[in-house]
Structure 1
Amino acid sequence: MTSKKPAGPKSKSGKKQAKSSQAAPAKQVRAKPGRQADSPENAPAIPKARTPEVPAVSPALAPADRERLLAGTHHDPHTVLGAHPVPGGVAFRVFRPYAEAVTVVFDDVRAELTDDGQGFFSGLLPLTEVPAYRLLVSYDGTAHETEDPYRFLPTLGELDLHLLGEGRHEELWQALGSRVLTLQGVTGTRFAVWAPNALGVRVAGGFDFWDATGFPMRSLGSTGVWELFVPGVGEGELYKFDITRPDGSHTLRADPMARRTEVPPATSSIVDVSRHEWGDAEWMAHRADRPVHEAPFSVYEVHLPSWRPGLTYRQLAEQLPAYVGDLGFTHVELMPVAEHPFGGSWGYQVTGFYAPTARLGTPDDFKYLVDKLHQAGIGVLMDWVPAHFPRDEWALAEFDGRPLYEHGDPLRAAHPDWGTLEFDFGRREVRNFLVANAVYWCEEFHIDGLRVDAVASMLYLDYSREAGQWTPNEFGGRENLDAVAFLQEMNATVYRRCPGVVTIAEESTAWDGVTRPTHHKGPSGFGGLGFGLKWNMGWMHDSLAYMSHEPVHRKYHHHEMTFSMVYAYSENYVLPISHDEVVHGKRSLVSKMPGDWWQQRANLRAYLAFMWAHPGKQLLFMGQEFAQGAEWSEAHGPDWWLLDPAYGAESEHRGVRELVRDLNTAYRATPALWERDTDPAGFEWIVGDAAEDNVFAFLRRDAEGGPLLCVANLSPLARHDYRLGVPDDIPAWHETLNTDLARYGGSDVANQGTVKPEPQPWHGRPASIRLTLPPLAAVWLRPA
Structure 2
Amino acid sequence: MTPPDPSLLDAVAAGSHHAPHDVLGIHPATADGTWIVRTRRPLAQSVTAVFGDGRRVPLAHLHGGIWEGETPGEPQAYQVVATYPDGPAHTTDDPYRHTPTLGELDLHLIGEGRHERLWDVLGAHVRLHGDAEGTSFAVWAPHARAIRVVGDFNGWDGAGHAMRSMGGSGVWELFIPGVGVGTTYKYQILTEHDGWVMKADPMARAAEVPPATASVVTASDYVWGDDDWIADRASSQPLTRPMSVYELHLGSWRPGLGYREAADPLVEYVTAQGFTHVEFMPLAEHPFGGSWGYQVTGYYAPTSRFGGPDDLRYLIDRLHAAGIGVIMDWVPGHFPRDSFALARFDGGPLYEHPDPRRGEHRDWGTLIFDYGRNEVRNFLVANALYWFDQFHVDGLRVDAVASMLYLDYSREPGEWEPNEFGGRENLEAIRFLQETNATAYKTFPGIAMIAEESTSYPGVTAPTSAGGLGFGFKWNMGWMNDSLVYISRDPMYRSHHEAELTFSFVYAFSENFVLPISHDEVVHGKGSLFTRMPGDHWQKLAGMRLFLSYMWGHPGKQLLFMGQEFGQLSEWSESRGLDWWLLDQPTHRELQDFVAALNRAYRAEPALWSRDHDGAAFDRIGGPAWNPDVSAFVRRGDDGAPVAILCNFSGAPLHLELDLPSAGRWDEVLNSDATVYGGSGVGNFGSVETDAAGRANVTLPPLGALWLRYAG
Distance in 2 (alpha carbons) for counterparts of 1:538 and 1:101: 75
1:111 offset after TM fit, Å?
Answer: 2.4
CA contact (8 A) 1:199 1:248 kept: no
Partner of 1:178: 124
- Amino acid across the alignment from 2:75: V
Q: What displacement does 1:118 show?
A: 3.0
| 1:162-177 correspondence to structure 2 within 5 Å | 162-177=108-123
Residue 509 of structure 1 aligns to which amino acid in structure 2?
A: T
Equivalent pair of 1:317/1:372 in contact (CA under 8 Å): yes
Cα distance in 2 for partners of 1:277, 1:690 equals 62
Residues 691 and 362 of structure 1: CA distance in aligned 2, closer, same or farther (over 3 Å)? farther
Name the counterpart of 2:695: 768
Amino acid at match of 2:48: T
Counterpart among 700, 704, 708 of residue 777 in structure 1: 704
Matched with 2:314 is 368
AA matched with 2:667: H
Seen in structure 2, the aligned counterparts of structure 1 residues 248 and 101 have a Cα distance that, compared at 3 Å, is: farther
Report what 2:612 is aligned to.
677
Q: Any residues of structure 2 matched to 1:697-776 within 5 Å, and which?
A: 697-704=632-639, 706-720=641-655, 722-728=656-662, 730-759=663-692, 766-776=693-703
Instruction: Find 2:558's aligned residue among 607, 611, 618.
Output: 618
Please point out which of 197, 216, 236 is paired with 2:182.
236
- Cα 1:753–1:235, aligned 2, differ >3 Å: closer, same or farther? closer
Contact 1:545 1:560 survives alignment (8 Å):
yes
Structure 2 residue aligned with 1:132: 77
Contact 2:6 2:63 in 1 (8 A): no
Correspondences of 1:197-596 after superposition (within 5 Å)? 197-247=143-193, 249-520=195-466, 527-596=467-536
The one-letter code sitting in structure 1 at the alignment partner of 2:384 is A
Q: C-alpha distance in 1, partners of 2:710/2:399?
A: 41
CA RMSD of aligned residues (A): 1.5
Partner of 1:105: 50
| 8 Å Cα contact 1:195-1:224 kept in structure 2 | yes
Distance of 1:98 and 1:531 partners within structure 2 = 60
The unaligned stretches of length 5 or more in structure 2 are none
| 1:78 aligned to which of 21, 32, 35 | 21
Is the CA contact 2:384–2:440 (under 8 Å) kept in the aligned structure 1? yes
Deviation at 1:706, TM superposition (A): 2.8
Q: Which sits farther off after the overlay, 215-224 or 113-122?
A: 113-122
Name the CA shift for 1:128/1:354 in 2 (closer, same or farther; >3 Å). same
* Paired AA for residue 549 in structure 1: R
Q: Is the 8 A contact 1:73 1:244 kept in 2?
A: yes
Superposition deviation, residue 581 in structure 1: 0.2
CA distance in 2 between counterparts of 1:603 and 1:248 reads 60
Shift of residue 116 of structure 1? Answer: 3.3
- One-letter code of the match for 1:596? D
* Deviation by residue 1:134-173 (Cα, 9 ceiling, x = unmatched): 1112344221211111111111112111101111000000
Q: Which runs of 5+ in 1 are unaligned?
A: 1-56, 521-526, 760-765
Residue deviations 1:520-577 (CA, integer Å, cap 9, x gap): 0xxxxxx100000000000000001100110111111100110001111110000000
- Using the alignment, how far apart are the partners of 2:235 and 2:539 within structure 1? 42
Provide closer, same or farther for how the CA distance between residues 72 and 689 of structure 1 changes in structure 2, counting only shifts above 3 A.
farther
Equivalent in the alignment of 1:763: none
Taking the aligned partners of 1:459 and 1:308, their CA distance within structure 2 comes to 36
Q: Distance in 2 between matches of 1:195 and 1:114?
A: 35
| 1:643 equivalent in alignment to 2:643 | no
Q: Tell me, what secondary structure is at the counterpart of 1:212?
A: coil
**1:30-49 alignment runs, 5 A limit:** none
1:97–1:467 distance in 2 versus 1, CA, 3 Å:
farther
> In structure 1, the residue corresponding to 2:187 is in which secondary structure?
strand
**Deviation of residue 753 (structure 1)?**
3.7
Matches within 5 A, 1:14-93: 57=1, 59=3, 61-87=4-30, 89-93=34-38
How does the TM-score come out when normalised to structure 1? 0.89
Tell me the CA shift for residue 265 of structure 1.
0.5
Query: What does the per-residue CA deviation read over 1:707-727, in whole Å, with 9 as the maximum and x for residues that have no partner?
Result: 10111011110123x210113
The structure 1 residue matched to 2:548, chosen from 596, 608, 626, is 608
Letter in 2 for 1:771: V
Q: Which residue of 1 aligns with 2:40?
A: 95
Tell me, what secondary structure is at the counterpart of 1:558? Answer: helix
The residue type equivalent to 2:400 in the other structure is A
Are 1:85 and 1:128, in contact at CA under 8 Å, matched by a contact in 2? Answer: no
Matched, 1:694 2:629: yes
Q: Give, as a single letter, the amino acid of the residue that structure 2 aligns with 1:445.
A: F
- Contact 1:593/1:600, CA 8 A, preserved across alignment: yes
The answer (yes or no) to whether the contact 1:740–1:748 under 8 Å persists in 2 is: yes
Displacement of 1:692 in angstroms is 4.8
Whichever residue aligns with residue 618 of structure 2, its letter is F
**Letter aligned with residue 777 of structure 1:** G
Q: Which moves more between the two structures, 134-143 or 301-310?
A: 134-143
Q: Which amino acid aligns with 1:617?
A: K
Residue aligned with 1:207, SS: coil
Percent identity of the aligned residues?
59
Judge conservation of contact 2:643–2:709 (CA < 8 Å) in 1: yes
**8 Å CA contact retained: 1:321, 1:376:** yes
* TM-score (ref. length: structure 2): 0.97
Summarize the Cα distance change of 1:77–1:733 in structure 2 as closer, same or farther, 3 Å threshold. same
Greater Cα shift, 142-151 or 773-782 = 142-151
Cα deviation for residue 123 of structure 1 reads 2.0
Matches of 1:247 and 1:139, distance apart in 2: 37
* 3-state SS of 2:697 partner: strand
Match of 2:64 in 1: 118
SS of the residue corresponding to residue 361 of structure 2 reads coil
Q: Within 1, Cα distance between the matches of 2:364 and 2:560?
A: 25
SS of alignment partner, residue 636 of structure 1: coil
1:196 is displaced (CA, Å) by 0.1
Q: Write the distance in 1 (CA, Å) between the matches of 2:639 and 2:211.
A: 56
Taking the aligned partners of 1:710 and 1:752, their CA distance within structure 2 comes to 17
Q: How many Å separate the matches in 2 of 1:460 and 1:693?
A: 38
Distance 1:690 1:680 in 2: 25
